Amino acid sequence: MSRTMRTKIQRLRAMSVPEIAHRLKQFFYDKIDHARHQLFGAETPEQFLDRHRITSTKILLSEFRQRSIFTWQNIPADELHNLISEHFAQYRQATLSAADEFVQYRFRIFDKTVDFGSKIDWHYDPTKDHSVPLVWWNRVQYYNPDMVGEVKYVWELNRHQHFVTLAKAYFLTNDEKYARILFCQWEQWLEDNPLKYGINWTSSLECAFRLISWTWALQFAKQSSLLTEELFSRILQSVAQHADFIGHHLSLYSSANNHLIGEGAGLIYAGCYFPELKKSAVWCEKGFHIVFQEMLNQVHSDGVTKEQTTWYQKYVFDLGVLTKCAADFVGRKIPEQLTDRLERMAGFVDAVIDSSGNVPAIGDDDGGEALKLTDAQRNRYHEMLGVAAVLFDRGEFKKTQTPPEALIWLLGDAGLKKYNSLDRKSVAKSLNVFQQGGYAIVRTVQPVEQVFVFDAGPIGLSTMAAHGHADALSFTLSVGGQKIFIDSGTYGYTGAGEERNYFRGTKAHNTLSIDNKNQADILGPFQWGRKPGTSLDQASYENGTMILRGHHNGYARTAGTHHRTITFDNRLTWTINDKMNGKGVHHIDVCFHLAPCDLKDEDHKLLAHFENLHVELAFSCEQLFSVHIEEKDHSDFFGAKFGHPVVRIHSFVELPFEFSTTIQLKPI
């Protein structure tokens, strides 16, 4: 049986009867749609204008140019440029530098640089060095490694977030070269990606992100004379096509994760910001309904995303903010629950971030963004918290004195003024507990900053748990703003092959595994089968000692239950006690993933040397065990791998089993 067929069968197992009925209905709709398209072709530009009762493209474009939709557009032009020069000079230069690369048709896509020369191949897959065939959209098997290596490399460029950069460069300089390249590439894309043909029509989420980028790019560059009436009407027609495609291909039922929230945001953008289109009110209403409902469905009441991933925590937050801005524009009231959920989402990030801006790489990280409003090197979590600081009047969220560039574009001059007036007060607690999300975070300041994140949460969202990792009872530790014990990250998705399974598997995390198995069963690259039941049992401060406890039953079928207790003396010593209940003889491994460092075995203890810190690890067990130092890979960003040392404790014993690890920190 082929890998593609196995994936389809496994995917079918995750579906309920109503979902299967829905997908059968969708299947026949798409069949009829394809036949109709073959018989009659796509709607012509003339038919589009007639259907929308647009009699004058000149008036259409003129009215569009006069309409302001974003807060920054209410600031007089001279004043806005002065604000940018005063507060965002370095960001302005970064935008121009990036735009100059795009003018040369050079792009950085994750870990790869692609130089197209003078014309972009919008279907080019740099991981396979070939172009994906231009066929009807649902015949593009982007999960088939024979057709596509890693689809995200194709989709990333086609999100057109570089359109925003080119348009912003034109807006900041009034240099037509940026507008010329922007609209030239835009025309090429419309020509090379006919409706529902090719890889760029295979994902509703990608269509939604494109709509968001297009909206911002048009607002930055709409005054350019190079935006002709004909091109604008073609763009407008494609906006309608994108919104219709999204509306008919929503990620429902078991697929209802962050994709559905993004698709809702795309409908909101098409509906709120393009009122010229006949179905704008329908898209707007549908989009708001989806986002308002799914933000509450997909985020725990304590603010942790149910996908159990820190990167998508930011993703979903950003989509929520974009939705809020659109709602403010059309006078739509935001539910109080949603506002509270967004604030709590920022609160979780604030709890886990260290003084250097490091956030543990828990769960999947695809390296993408809902909207890219800056091209400067920056900490994306600082940017998220900076926006949250203004929205929720939370001074502790303000991590840098310099305001993030996104503030001026999202919240205007009022947002900038408020950010500058906020006191960077620190109200960090020594213990933060997110019971629904399953995290306990210990934070100290003296004698040195430590941020310890204990993960006793569920594996992920719904039946698929698509973006979660088998990391129950794992932990990360940062000391003095330096990563010490790390999560291995993500590396890749469909193009990573077996490495996809390693990076999300149990042994890639700081926890215990049995018989070389994961805590959950891997069924596909975005699907888990049997999942562990997890519990954060205790997180308390007693008699000067921090105590964290949790357990999971991921090995209950073959062995027993894993219990982990972590104690901290509130200074420099961490003790981790692992207990495996059950019966039978089993191979047990306990892994500790250290950030890159010099790790040596000295006097029967392991000593890890970091720049300003030594870390001593000592182990204790009544049964025989062996200590192994291994070199493994971690991923700091999508598509990239870097080596790091792993301490693996191995024992072949009869259960029950108990093992203790002491971590002693020694600042230099």
The CATH number of the domain where 86 resides is what? Answer: 1.50.10.100
Q: Say yes or no: 437 and 295 in one domain.
A: no
pLDDT tens column, 391-405 = 999 999 999 999 999
**Cis peptide preceding 656, ω within 30 of 0:** yes
Q: Say yes or no: 479 and 531 in one domain.
A: yes
Statement: residue 277 has pLDDT above 70: yes
Q: Say yes or no: 400 and 446 in one domain.
A: no
CA angle 570, 571, 573 (to 5 degrees): 95
The rounded distance, in Å, linking the Cα atoms of 470 and 461 is 13
Write down the pLDDT at residue 251: 96
Which of helix, strand or coil describes residue 79?
helix
Identify the domain boundary among 386, 421, 456. 421
- Residue 60, domain member (yes or no): yes
Write down the pLDDT at residue 2: 57
Write down the pLDDT at residue 12: 77
Q: Say yes or no: 408 and 462 in one domain.
A: no
Q: Say yes or no: 446 and 406 in one domain.
A: no
pLDDT tens column, 301-337 = 999 999 999 999 999 999 999 999 999 999 999 999 9
The rounded distance, in Å, linking the Cα atoms of 554 and 377 is 40
pLDDT tens column, 531-590 = 999 999 999 998 889 999 999 999 999 999 999 999 999 789 999 999 999 999 999 999
Q: Say yes or no: 374 and 464 in one domain.
A: no
pLDDT tens column, 418-445 = 999 999 877 667 999 999 999 999 999 8
- Which domain range does residue 383 map to? 42-421
Identify the domain boundary among 360, 389, 421. 421
- Residue 192, domain member (yes or no): yes
- Residue 16, domain member (yes or no): no
Mean pLDDT over each residue of the chain, to the nearest integer: 95
Q: Which two tokens stand for residue 493?
A: 């998705």
The total domain count for the chain is: 2
Statement: residue 1 has pLDDT above 80: no
- Residue 6, domain member (yes or no): no
Q: Say yes or no: 276 and 308 in one domain.
A: yes
Share of the chain above pLDDT 90, in %: 93
- Residue 634, domain member (yes or no): yes
CATH value at residue 476: 2.70.98.70
For residue 608, give the nearest of 668, 651, 565 by alpha carbon. 668
Statement: residue 93 has pLDDT above 90: yes
Identify the domain boundary among 400, 421, 442. 421
The rounded distance, in Å, linking the Cα atoms of 372 and 157 is 12
Which of helix, strand or coil describes residue 123?
coil
Contact criterion met (CB below 8 Å) for 64 and 277? no
**CA distances (Å), 93 to each of 96, 222, 521, in order?**
5, 22, 48
Contact criterion met (CB below 8 Å) for 39 and 552? no
Write down the pLDDT at residue 186: 98
- Residue 18, domain member (yes or no): no
Q: Say yes or no: 166 and 260 in one domain.
A: yes
Q: Say yes or no: 259 and 161 in one domain.
A: yes
For residue 379, give the nearest of 359, 360, 364, 393 by alpha carbon. 359
Say what the pTM is: 0.96
pLDDT tens column, 13-59 = 778 899 999 999 999 999 999 999 999 999 999 999 999 999 999 99
Q: Say yes or no: 368 and 459 in one domain.
A: no
**Cis peptide preceding 18, ω within 30 of 0:** no
For residue 284, give the nearest of 294, 276, 275 by alpha carbon. 275
Write down the pLDDT at residue 6: 63
Write down the pLDDT at residue 146: 87
Statement: residue 3 has pLDDT above 60: no
Q: Which two tokens stand for residue 586?
A: 């089993």
Q: Say yes or no: 407 and 500 in one domain.
A: no
Contact criterion met (CB below 8 Å) for 147 and 140? yes
Q: Say yes or no: 336 and 482 in one domain.
A: no
Longest CA pairwise span in the chain (Å) = 85
pLDDT tens column, 107-122 = 999 999 999 999 999 9
